[in-house]
């Protein structure tokens, strides 16, 4: 029986919370470790570090929640669980990694320690770990098996290490717990090779009268920078990545990668404006801190038998792709292994279905190579359809608005539009519209605010000889790296709108 903490759906309770293409669109798997220094380009608006850029280009990452909770049916263990309950009978981290890789995910993040304090590696800091469990006769190291599996499949490695620890007796004692936490962190950062992401959860359900621990975030960040300078760090308050503000899989339809750090000063800050700041970011924010959208494939973060029939459908997962990746965020999808230590067949089936829908949709960019004209600087307009996300069109003379016009083949019928800014140079567009030529005039097809790394718009099934993307407002010269047109599996293609037929 699952025991949900009374406030588990509301992450902000009691000061608590962070929470959270590959394949067809070139994942950044296996590339040389990028650094955390901002990329050298002109301008005063914030830009990503190479590590943040590589992180965002992955688009899909997999979260793996596995702990004593997998065996007790709880979502938040209270720390009193006996390590004896931890005994996956057929654990195969390669099955997780193969599934992730085959379905287009570029990295995986493991709950090395959840709030219950049970460590999935044989840490020197506490006996509350796999070393005290019957699994592999107490000689197992799940973090090792996980990292080996990720490396074998070419996936990036990430760790979730819960600051809130309900088992450690010294939790709440200030420096003593800080030292303990830093030691755990250092073990993870020094024993298992390159780490791409650290996930710092601000959740805390101690409640009134509970233990209080002020985490030494500056020291935690310094430790990560010193031991894994290429890793990016996630929390509500960054420093590199921010929580998107909910666990339902939805980034703001306006979503800036930049933030004003003062609006979310620390993980777990629960001020009235926090949610909006996390969802939308801030066009004037001084810091580049893109949002990560964490959501589970099931109602819970951990596996529960009674949820085997409540796994998201492939179509629902595709919808999440639109509301996360398609809104300038990254999707961190949780897939919890069963007590056997395997992904459940229902989850694997859903993931495969999701991958099929996505790759079928993205297999062919109907705008690829299309001739493009522009409001100015026309010689570079073709960069928007050349498939190279590093090349871009920008209007001449420092203009902050302008338009691109694509000439499309008669048979190009689409219902998904993908726009990309060249975000290595920052994110600037705050308003755009897309029009199709029909009956001798431009007719509106889509309108939106931010673009960033990727903006996906669903439109009615459409054919048109001419498509115009107008940047109506930007905070600096807009740089458009891609206008892509795709056809989803779902649309009613029997009668696509024949934009322009009378005029073509």
Q: Where are the beta strands (DSSP E) in 82-200?
A: 107-113, 156-161, 197-199
- Measured in residues, the chain has a length of 504
Q: How far is the CB of 75 from ligand FUL (least distance, A)?
A: 6
By beta-carbon proximity to ligand FUL, the closer residue of 185 and 404 is 185
Q: How far is the CB of 116 from ligand FUL (least distance, A)?
A: 10
CB 73 within 8 A of CB 304: yes
CB 488 within 8 A of CB 458: yes
By beta-carbon proximity to ligand FUL, the closer residue of 74 and 327 is 74
Is there binding between residue 165 and ligand FUL (CB under 6 A)?
no
Is there binding between residue 11 and ligand FUL (CB under 6 A)?
yes
Instruction: Name the segment binding ligand FUL (CB under 6 A); options: 15-23, 189-197, 226-234, 403-411.
Output: 15-23
Binding track, positions 65-104, relative to ligand FUL; x by CB under 6 A? ----------x-----------------------------
Q: How far is the CB of 128 from ligand FUL (least distance, A)?
A: 18
DSSP state of 23: G
By beta-carbon proximity to ligand FUL, the closer residue of 4 and 363 is 4
Q: How far is the CB of 219 from ligand FUL (least distance, A)?
A: 22
Query: Using alpha carbons only, what angle is made at residue 246 by residues 76 and 71, rounded to the nearest 5 degrees?
Result: 20
Is there binding between residue 203 and ligand FUL (CB under 6 A)?
yes
Q: Where are the beta strands (DSSP E) in 335-428?
A: 372-374, 402-407, 413-421
Instruction: Name the segment binding ligand FUL (CB under 6 A); options: 14-22, 35-43, 350-358, 480-488.
Output: 14-22
Q: How far apart are CA 232 and CA 142, in angstroms?
A: 22
Q: How far is the CB of 496 from ligand FUL (least distance, A)?
A: 41
By beta-carbon proximity to ligand FUL, the closer residue of 11 and 128 is 11
Q: How far apart are CA 454 and CA 368, in angstroms?
A: 16
- Measured from each CB, the residue nearest to ligand FUL is 203
By beta-carbon proximity to ligand FUL, the closer residue of 76 and 442 is 76
Is there binding between residue 17 and ligand FUL (CB under 6 A)?
yes
Is there binding between residue 320 and ligand FUL (CB under 6 A)?
no
DSSP 432-495: EEEEEEETTEEEEEEEES--TT-EEEEEEEEE-SEEEEEEEEESS---EEEEEEE--SSS-TTS
Instruction: Name the segment binding ligand FUL (CB under 6 A); options: 12-20, 39-47, 88-96, 254-262.
Output: 12-20
By beta-carbon proximity to ligand FUL, the closer residue of 64 and 357 is 64
By beta-carbon proximity to ligand FUL, the closer residue of 81 and 201 is 201
| Structure-block tokens of residue 443 | 């007719």
Instruction: Name the segment binding ligand FUL (CB under 6 A); options: 11-19, 213-221, 316-324, 473-481.
Output: 11-19
Residue 437 β-bridge partners: 442
Is there binding between residue 479 and ligand FUL (CB under 6 A)?
no
Is there binding between residue 19 and ligand FUL (CB under 6 A)?
yes
CA-only gyration radius of the chain, Å: 23
The per-residue b/e assignment along 388-405, b for 16 or more CB within 10 angstroms, e otherwise, is ebeebbbbeeeebbbbbb
Which residues have C-beta within 8 Å of that of residue 153, sequence separation ≥ 6?
Answer: 94, 97, 98, 100, 101
The H or E element containing residue 258 is: strand 258-259
Q: How far is the CB of 332 from ligand FUL (least distance, A)?
A: 8
Is there binding between residue 366 and ligand FUL (CB under 6 A)?
no
Instruction: Name the segment binding ligand FUL (CB under 6 A); options: 18-26, 132-140, 411-419, 437-445.
Output: 18-26
Residue 484 β-bridge partners: 418
Site for ligand FUL in 20-39 (CB under 6 A): 20
By beta-carbon proximity to ligand FUL, the closer residue of 20 and 285 is 20
Binding-site size for ligand FUL (CB under 6 A) equals: 10
| Structure-block tokens of residue 315 | 């179509």
Q: How far apart are CA 463 and CA 219, in angstroms?
A: 56
Q: How far is the CB of 115 from ligand FUL (least distance, A)?
A: 6
Q: How far is the CB of 55 from ligand FUL (least distance, A)?
A: 17
Is there binding between residue 294 and ligand FUL (CB under 6 A)?
yes
Residue with tokens 């595709």: 318
By beta-carbon proximity to ligand FUL, the closer residue of 66 and 442 is 66
| Structure-block tokens of residue 111 | 């709950």
Instruction: Name the segment binding ligand FUL (CB under 6 A); options: 10-18, 180-188, 266-274, 406-414.
Output: 10-18
Q: How far is the CB of 323 from ligand FUL (least distance, A)?
A: 17
By beta-carbon proximity to ligand FUL, the closer residue of 292 and 435 is 292
Q: Which of 201, 236, 292, 420 binds ligand FUL (CB under 6 A)?
A: 201
Q: How far apart are CA 172 and CA 73, in angstroms?
A: 27
Q: How far is the CB of 480 from ligand FUL (least distance, A)?
A: 34
Q: How far apart are CA 216 and CA 174, in angstroms?
A: 9
Beta strands at 330-334 and 466-474: parallel, antiparallel or unpaired: unpaired
Q: Which long-range contacts (CB under 8 A, 24 or more apart) does 136-144 make?
A: 142/66, 142/91, 142/93, 142/110, 143/110, 143/112, 143/188, 143/191, 143/192, 144/192
Report the interface residues with ligand FUL, using CB under 6 A: 11, 17-20, 75, 201, 203, 294, 301
């Amino acid at each position: 029986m699952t025991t949900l903490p009374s406030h588990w759906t509301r992450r902000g309770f009691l000061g608590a919370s962070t929470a959270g293409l590959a394949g067809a669109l070139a994942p950044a798997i296996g590339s040389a470790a990028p650094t955390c220094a901002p990329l050298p380009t002109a301008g005063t608006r914030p830009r990503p570090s190479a590590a943040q850029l590589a992180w965002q280009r992955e688009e899909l990452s997999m979260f793996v929640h596995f702990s004593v909770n997998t065996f007790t049916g709880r979502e938040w263990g209270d720390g009193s669980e006996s390590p004896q309950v931890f005994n996956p009978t057929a654990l195969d981290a390669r099955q997780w990694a193969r599934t992730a890789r085959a379905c287009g995910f570029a990295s995986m993040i493991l709950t090395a320690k959840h709030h219950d304090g049970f460590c999935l590696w044989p840490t020197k800091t506490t006996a509350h770990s796999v070393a005290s469990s019957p699994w592999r006769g107490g000689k197992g190291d799940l973090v090792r098996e996980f990292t080996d599996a990720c490396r074998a499949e070419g996936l990036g490695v990430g760790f979730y290490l819960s600051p809130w620890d309900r088992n450690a007796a010294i939790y709440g004692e200030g420096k003593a717990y800080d030292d303990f936490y830093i030691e755990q962190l250092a073990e993870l950062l020094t024993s298992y090779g390159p780490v791409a992401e650290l996930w710092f959860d601000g959740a805390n359900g101690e409640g009134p009268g509970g233990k209080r621990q002020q985490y030494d975030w500056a020291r935690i960040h310094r430790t990560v920078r010193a031991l894994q300078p290429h890793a990016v760090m996630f929390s509500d308050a960054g420093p590199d990545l921010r929580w998107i503000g909910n666990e339902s899989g939805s980034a703001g339809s306006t979503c800036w990668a930049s933030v004003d750090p003062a609006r979310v000063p620390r993980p777990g800050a629960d001020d009235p404006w926090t949610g909006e700041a996390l969802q939308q970011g801030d066009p004037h924010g001084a810091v580049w801190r893109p949002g990560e959208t964490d959501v589970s494939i099931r109602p819970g973060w951990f596996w529960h038998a009674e949820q085997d029939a409540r796994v998201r459908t492939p179509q629902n997962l595709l919808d999440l792709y639109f509301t996360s990746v398609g809104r300038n965020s990254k999707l961190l999808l949780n897939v919890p292994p069963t007590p056997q230590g395997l992904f459940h067949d229902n989850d694997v089936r859903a993931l495969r279905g999701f991958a099929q829908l996505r790759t079928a949709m993205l297999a062919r960019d109907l705008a690829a190579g299309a001739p493009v004209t522009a409001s100015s600087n026309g010689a570079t307009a073709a960069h928007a359809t050349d498939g190279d996300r590093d090349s871009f069109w920008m209007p001449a003379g420092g203009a902050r608005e302008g338009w691109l016009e694509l000439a499309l083949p008669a048979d190009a019928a689409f219902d998904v539009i993908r726009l990309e800014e060249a975000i290595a140079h920052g994110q600037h567009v705050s308003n755009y519209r897309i029009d199709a030529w029909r009956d001798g005039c431009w007719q509106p097809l889509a309108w939106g605010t931010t673009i960033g790394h990727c903006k996906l718009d669903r439109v009615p099934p459409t054919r048109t000889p001419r498509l115009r993307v107008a940047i109506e407002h930007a905070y600096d010269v807009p740089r458009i790296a891609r206008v892509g047109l795709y056809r989803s599996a779902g649309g009613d293609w029997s009668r696509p709108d024949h934009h322009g037929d009378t005029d073509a």
